[in-house]
Amino acid sequence: MNLEVILRAGLSTGTILLLATIGEIITERAGVMNLGVEGMMLIGAMAAFKVSHVTQNAWLGLAAGILAGGVLSLAHGLVSIHFQADQTVSGLSLTFLGTGLALVLGEGLSSLTVPTIPDVDFPLLSSIPVVGRILFTDFNVLVYVGYFLVPISWYFINKTRPGMHLRAVGENPSAADSLGINVYGTRYLYTFIGGCMAGLAGASISIAISPGWYSSLTTSGQGWIAIALVIFARWNPVPAALGGYLFGMLRRFMLDLQGPTVILGLRNPFFYDLNLVFFLQMMPYLVTVIALLSGSGAAKRKHKGAPSALGIPYIRGERGL
């Protein structure tokens, strides 16, 4: 068990959660709650894997994964923005739909190996002593993409004009409408972008960070953990990234815990009783529940967090449809 190994593994696998979580934050800040992240990730993972296999080009696979997540999210957009359906149920059915589509179209892929997005050293930064070795050496390209997306998305949401429109539509759509902002168009756009990010997160599993297609086990509930992280991070990309990395580290720590025969001078129960490993496997899910609990408590105290119009369809007068 080595702290540096755990940290690096956390940065690597945490990137998957980070991408999905930031995508969902962007969607939710525009007032649309899309609970279909798991389905969009799975369809993204499948599309990336399949296209990477067919074209023998991982970058085309990546593009396909992103697009697949985005296109699927539009189904949720249509149902929740135009049809004003219950967004919770719509997101839930998006998960079913994405899972079903991914399983049907991904039939027979699991035995294949496909070209993957490479692991690289980051130019220049990798030569910084210690920090360079830990943060910028021998990571998948998408891990570095994750690094950059955190400040970029924060800056975009909080400091730019389109970012202000995005927040306005999520906080007070009728005021935004009266200022000439296209509420429906904006919501579609950011639902699509959130879907693309979820697709990217899925692709980052299947063709980059832990390559392979294991049908529905490929994502194993990470889409749901991402939604919990959004609440935990109070709709802010920076804590979302930290949460994602921490989760990645937790996963690695659980794995490493099974190795040594002795921990802190005590006989390691996880080494001697293999069945106790099931309790370790529960941990990410239990920790998610606890994180949600603490997140909701903090949000209550500070009276901030969720966008005011989150999950509420906007109806302009009697326009309706």
Partner 1 sequence: MKSPIKITAERRMEEIPKWLPLATSLGAIVISFTISGIILAFSGSNPIRVFRFFFNAAFGSWGAFSDILVKATPLIIIGVGCCLAFKMKIISIGAEGQFYMGAFFASLVVLVPLVPLDSPKILVLSLMALMGIIGGALYGLIPGLLKAYFNVNEIITTLMLNYVAVYWNNYWIFGKYSDAGFQMTPTFDKVAWLPRLADMAKEIPFFSGITLHLGVVFGLFAAVLIWAILKHSRWGYEIALTGDNPRAAKYAGINIKGNIILVMVVSGALAGLAGMSEVTGVVHRLQERISSNYGFSSVIVAWLAKLNPFAVIPVAVLFGALIVAGREIQPSGLSFLIQGTTLFLVISSDVLLRYKIRITRRKEEIV
State both tokens at 311: 């999950």
For position 106 contacting partner 1 by CB under 8 A, the verdict is: yes
What is the phi/psi pair of residue 266, to 5°?
Answer: -105, 155
**Is residue 164 close enough to count as binding partner 1 by CB under 8 A?**
no
CA distance 123 to 146: 16
95 binds partner 1 (CB under 8 A): yes
Options 125, 145, 246, 292; binder of partner 1; rule CB under 8 A: 292
86 is a site residue for partner 1 (CB under 8 A): yes
282 part of the interface to partner 1, by CB under 8 A:
yes
Main-chain dihedrals φ then ψ at residue 262, nearest 5 degrees: -125, 130
Decide if residue 107 touches partner 1 (CB under 8 A). Answer: yes
Q: Which of 60, 101, 120, 255 binds partner 1 (CB under 8 A)?
A: 101
- Tell which positions 6-35 bind partner 1, by CB under 8 A: 35
Binding of partner 1 at residue 307 (CB under 8 A)?
A: no
CA distances from 18 to 14, 74, 148, 243 (A): 6, 21, 11, 8
Count Cα atoms within 13 angstroms, Cβ side, for 305: 17
Choose, by CB under 8 A, the member of 14, 77, 98, 243 that binds partner 1. 98
3-state secondary structure of 107: coil
Q: How far is it, in rounded angstroms, from Cα 232 to Cα 211?
A: 28
Contact pick of 48, 201, 228, 309 for partner 1 (by CB under 8 A):
228
Cβ-based nearer residue to partner 1, 34 or 116: 34
Helical axes 58-77 vs 37-55, angle rounded to 10°: 150
Min separation Cβ 168 and partner 1, Å: 25
Query: Should residue 217 be labelled a site residue for partner 1 when binding is judged by CB under 8 A?
Result: no
Residue 168 to residue 162: CA distance in whole angstroms = 10
Question: Does 289 sit near partner 1 (CB under 8 A)?
Answer: yes
175 binds partner 1 (CB under 8 A): no
Only one of the segments 11-19, 86-94, 141-149, 200-208 lies at the binding site for partner 1 (rule: CB under 8 A); that segment is 86-94
**218 lies in the binding site for partner 1 (CB under 8 A):** no
Q: Does 300 bind partner 1 (CB under 8 A)?
A: yes
Task: Give the residue, chosen from 96, 138, 259, 269, that forms a contact with partner 1 under the rule CB under 8 A.
Answer: 96
For position 261 contacting partner 1 by CB under 8 A, the verdict is no
Q: Which of 185, 221, 259, 269 binds partner 1 (CB under 8 A)?
A: 221
What own/partner pairs with CB < 8 Å and gap ≥ 24 does 162-169 have?
A: 166/26, 166/29, 166/30, 166/190, 167/29, 167/307, 169/30, 169/31, 169/309
Residue 208 or 244 having the CB closest to partner 1: 244
Please tell me the distance from the alpha carbon of residue 16 to that of residue 308, in angstroms, as a whole number: 28
- The span from the CA of 83 to the CA of 313, in Å, is 9
Answer yes or no whether residue 100 interacts with partner 1 by CB under 8 A. Answer: yes
What are 262's strand-pairing partners? 267
Q: Would you give the DSSP letter of residue 160?
A: S
Residue 108 Cβ vs partner 1, minimum distance, rounded to whole Å: 8
Radius of gyration of the chain (CA): 20
Answer yes or no whether residue 99 interacts with partner 1 by CB under 8 A: yes
Residues contributing to the site for partner 1 (CB under 8 A): 35, 39, 75, 78-79, 83-86, 88-90, 92-107, 215, 221, 224-225, 227-228, 231, 273-276, 278-279, 281-282, 285-286, 288-289, 292-293, 296-297, 300, 318, 320-321
